[in-house]
């Protein structure tokens, strides 16, 4: 599941999740937008927080497809 989905199911804001995990709000936002992926340590903490296995976590990842027109960016889910 995507982090944003897990957070939404618990009715948490990004600020509340960041506080509970001792992370910055911008860090949570970057994980959810795919601009950054968590370290394995942080991913394990997120999994524990939501009571899911780390294998069940997915994070958006922005993948750039370079083509002759300069490239497009596509979103995909990245499982750890």
Task: Identify the pLDDT of residue 3.
Answer: 95
Task: Identify the pLDDT of residue 68.
Answer: 44
Calculated CA dihedral for residues 10, 16, 17, 18, nearest 10 degrees: 170
pLDDT along the chain (80 residues), means of 10: 95 98 97 93 97 90 52 54
What is d(CA 1, CA 4) in angstroms, rounded to the nearest whole number?
Answer: 8
What is d(CA 9, CA 61) in angstroms, rounded to the nearest whole number?
Answer: 21
The number of angstroms, rounded, from the C-alpha of 35 to the middle of its chain's C-alpha atoms is 9
Task: Identify the pLDDT of residue 76.
Answer: 54
Single pTM value for the model? 0.77
């Amino acid at each position: 599941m995507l982090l944003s989905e897990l957070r939404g199911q618990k009715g948490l804001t990004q600020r509340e999740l960041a506080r509970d995990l001792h992370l910055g709000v911008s860090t949570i936002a970057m994980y959810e937008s795919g601009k950054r992926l968590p370290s394995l340590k942080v991913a394990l903490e997120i999994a524990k927080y939501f009571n899911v296995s780390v294998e069940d976590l997915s994070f958006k990842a922005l993948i750039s497809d370079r083509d002759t027109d300069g490239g497009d960016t596509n979103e995909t889910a990245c499982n750890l």
